[in-house]
Amino acid sequence: MLVLSRKKNESIVINDDITIVVVEIRGDKVRLGVEAPKEVPVHRREVFDAIRRNEAATEEKPTGGQDGPPATG
């Protein structure tokens, strides 16, 4: 893991098109601003983890077939 020190209003650049700016520092909290292309998803870690859990749960559910009512014909 790369660890960087930044002060208020300083930034880092990732891959030429993502910029992260330290917007505010209050006590033990840091507010960050993220500028990224619209096609690049940006989430807080807890939101990202919840999305992944939901995706995994959706993939585990059976899709149609055996669980439905018997076919009539």
**Residue 71 pLDDT class (50, 70, 90 cuts):** low
DSSP string of 40-57?
A: S----HHHHHHHHHHHHH
Please give the tally of structural domains in the chain. Answer: 1
pTM, rounded to two decimals: 0.71
In a domain, 42, yes or no: yes
The per-residue pLDDT for range 9-58, each reduced to its tens digit, is: 999 999 999 999 999 999 999 999 999 999 999 999 999 999 999 999 98
Q: Looking at the predicted structure, is the pLDDT value of residue 3 above 60?
A: yes
- 20: closest CA among 8, 33, 31? 33
In a domain, 72, yes or no: no
In a domain, 55, yes or no: yes
Domain of 31 in residue numbering reads as 11-61
In a domain, 69, yes or no: no
